[in-house]
Amino acid sequence: MTATLTYIRDWQKAILAEIIHLKKYGSTRYLMLNGRLLSKSDSYTYFFDTPSTIKVPTGSSIKIEWGSRKVEGRILSSEGNNVILALDENLGMDLSETYLLHDPWELLDQLYQRLEDMKESKRKRSRIKKLMNPSMPAKHPEDKIKTSTHELILRSKYNPVTYVWGPPGTGKTYTLARVAANKYFKGQSVLILAQSNQAIDVLMAEISAFAANKKKVPDGELLRYGSQIGPALSDHPSLTANYLLQKHHSNLAEKKDSLFEERRLLKYDLSRSFSKRDSDLLIDVEKKLSGILEKIRQKEIEFIKSASIIGSTLAKAAGDPAIYEKNFDLVILDEASMAYVPQAAFAASLGKRVIICGDFKQLPPIAAARQKMAEKWLREDIFHHSGVSEAVKDGYLHPHLFLLKEQRRMHPEISAFSNKHIYHSLVGDHPDVLAARSDIAACAPFPGKASVLLNAAGSGEYGIKDGNTNSRINLWNLLLSFQLIHESYIGGSRSIGYVTPYRAQAVLMEQLLGELYEKELTEADIIAATVHRFQGSEREVMIFDTADSFPHERAGMLLIGKESERLLNVAITRTKGKFIHICDLDFIQKHVYRNKTWRRLADHQLQNGQAVHPDKIGKWIKNQHARLQWMHARKMERVKEDIQSAQRKIVISLPEAEKLGEGWGKVFSLRHKSTKLILLAQNPIRAIQTDEVIPHRFPFPFILIDEQILWLGMPAETHKKAKPPYVAARLDSAVAGTYLTSQFNQRK
């Protein structure tokens, strides 16, 4: 058995390796413009404009990169489109363009220090020992169990450590909230921890709603501690420290609000026209605000001392002595499968009893360092290292593992795959979930179907890699996905998610939605993200774009690698009523083994009659968007009009240029004499007279006009692996045009 001190030392080595990696490679870069020196005393205070909001906490250590120089400093203020920094060195009065570099290693350093504290505390080490080696017999009286919630209440009363396995939609929030409220009603203290602010907000809101139905809860008894409060608490404002401050210390709250507003106006004036008077006033406001915030901090400490249930993120708790120096009767760690093992140990060290809740079938923690200890302790969750998940692999539930067995989120057509292939029939459907989700499944696209495989095979070879990041991109899948979002929206859906394994694909969809769907985004809950970013969220309609296709010679590791089952599980189980899986079946059947989860998903959908093949594209596309139209690729009337209207340049990509039809030469000859024609092909061709040939071959044909109008899939005869029906898409998008231009410019 490993000694607890050995665990702690190994965790510190892992954290130190991650810190070193982040310091060396992990900086996030933010562009800053128009830097002006405001003052110089102990440090040099600068004001910068920023093209977009920089979300870095006040007080964070940063670096400034200006040419070849790098200077350290810290954030004084970051809100809106400007920042105020305190730098260690003078960079001059005016800085036209600089970069802010922020390393998120400071949070890890705080965790490192908490581990150091544990070395000196026998009580904390004892709690960690039980967490890591839950071999003690379970002591809760099984004969007294009335319901599943009651079982967890009993487990957390009689056992020092309880692991909760909460697959998606199984009532994790409902159950944990009632356990926390039960402890509160008995006069016990509870700490709620999680990685994300959203998880804390949702759980605290549920606790508040349940407790308020049982008895009147005095203000301050339940406290959501932290500054990043989300919409989940909009109906529960009394949980926040800001509410308590306004109620009990309104003068401080008013002074803070007044100074924030004064600072905002001064920063706005400075961004428009710099003046010495405004800069001096801003420095004075910052000093006053610092004093007020310190007084507010002392009041918040009083709120923490008075609260019975406190909700906080792991990062906030590890950096705040008001939390980590307290001892709680019960600690509940939600999202535990996303937390580092040392974070779970930190959580367990704070309470007499601990509930560790998560789903080890979803995505594990993320670490960047390629170092032995970091890979061991920061890339796998506490369920794995405690032996709890290994017991499940061996065919039984660990004595200290409590499984939530009934899912209420997904339509049964969707959950059928995850229940069987991911959770091995340990999880089933609630009897009411079919009726609850049928209305969503009834909506377009594919009315009446809850699970759909949209087969993109035969469309052509659209698989490429982004020139900047090497992340995979598939423009055909991207446009199909946008069309699905549009059909869903027109069909009445207002909760739509788009997920993909690849960041470049997700970013491009996010930009495309911002350009083409600006109004709809304000009226509906539509999000585009990687699967990793989407964990913990849910939508009524989910579109899963796998992006992988020919001419790639193998599937990406995100879809077939070690953690691919977890990634696919997250993608599927975010859905309530309609799951649409976009993939190239020919590619899967050629390059993905039958035992891989992605192949199993495709086979499952095929066998259950859920596949929609390319020949049905004309039937499911009911609503052409004004800026995205689909048509037969052999019809040339509209593309002729666009070519004749071109003002600056036309770029044409021909994968198999020798197959270009004779009629295209005449079509391109119709362009204005001043319009430049650029050919992307290995060699010039006789059929068309070009102004420039770039010897780069995209695997798919397209025509790009003035970096705005994109004809994807034309000229159709130059395709590879394309089969009837030959379909082309006309997209009016500066986002897509700029992206494609950047890609072939990189390859010149």
CATH superfamily of 27-102: Translation factors (2.40.30.10)
pLDDT(50) > 90 = no
Burial grade of 41 (CB within 10 A; 0-12, 13-18, 19 or more) = exposed
What whole-number percentage of the chain has pLDDT above 70? Answer: 99
Report the distance separating Cα 176 and Cα 190, nearest Å: 11
Q: Which two tokens stand for residue 311?
A: 């909700």
Res. 383 pLDDT band, cuts 50 70 90: very high
pLDDT at 408: 96
Residue in 739, 737, 688, 11 with CA at minimum distance from that of residue 344: 11
Neighbours of 38 (CB within 10 A): 22
Residues 6+ apart with CB under 8 A from 418: 167, 168, 410, 427, 569, 572, 573
- DSSP symbol at 625: B
pLDDT at 277: 84
Among 241-250, 277-286, 492-501, the minimum mean pLDDT is found in: 277-286
pLDDT(496) > 70 = yes
Res. 748 pLDDT band, cuts 50 70 90: low
Res. 23 pLDDT band, cuts 50 70 90: confident
CB-based contact 246:253 (threshold 8 Å): yes
pLDDT(745) > 90 = no
Strand 611-612 with 69-79, pairing: unpaired
State mean pLDDT over 285-311.
92
CB-based contact 407:586 (threshold 8 Å): no
Query: How large is the angle between the packed helices 597-607 and 564-573, nearest 10 degrees?
Result: 40
pLDDT tens for residues 204-245? Answer: 999 999 999 998 999 999 999 987 778 889 899 999 999 999
State mean pLDDT over 7-11.
97
168 upstream amide cis, omega within 30 of 0: no
Check: CATH 3.30.70.1450 for 414-620?
no
Taking all residues of the chain, what is their mean pLDDT, rounded to a whole number? 93
Residue in 638, 693, 635, 644 with CA at minimum distance from that of residue 668: 644
Res. 578 pLDDT band, cuts 50 70 90: very high
CB-based contact 327:351 (threshold 8 Å): yes
pLDDT at 2: 82
Report the distance separating Cα 576 and Cα 169, nearest Å: 9
Topology of domain 126-225+307-403 in CATH is: Rossmann fold (3.40.50)
pLDDT(1) > 70 = no
Topology of domain 628-746 in CATH is: Endonuclease; Chain A (3.30.870)
Report the distance separating Cα 244 and Cα 219, nearest Å: 8
pLDDT(555) > 70 = yes
pLDDT at 55: 76
pLDDT tens for residues 54-65? Answer: 778 778 888 888
Report the distance separating Cα 262 and Cα 59, nearest Å: 20
Among 46-50, 403-407, 449-453, the minimum mean pLDDT is found in: 46-50
Q: Which residues of 438-461 are buried (b: 16+ CB within 10 A; e: fewer)?
A: eebbebbbbeebbbbbbbbbbbbb
Report the distance separating Cα 649 and Cα 672, nearest Å: 10
CB-based contact 313:198 (threshold 8 Å): no
pLDDT at 207: 97
Residue in 128, 114, 115 with CA at minimum distance from that of residue 354: 128
pLDDT(103) > 80 = no
pLDDT tens for residues 590-605? Answer: 999 999 999 999 999 9
Res. 347 pLDDT band, cuts 50 70 90: very high
445 upstream amide cis, omega within 30 of 0: yes
- 3-class DSSP state of 632: strand
Report the distance separating Cα 658 and Cα 701, nearest Å: 13
CB-based contact 285:300 (threshold 8 Å): no
Helices (H), 517-596: 518-523, 531-534, 557-560, 564-573, 585-591
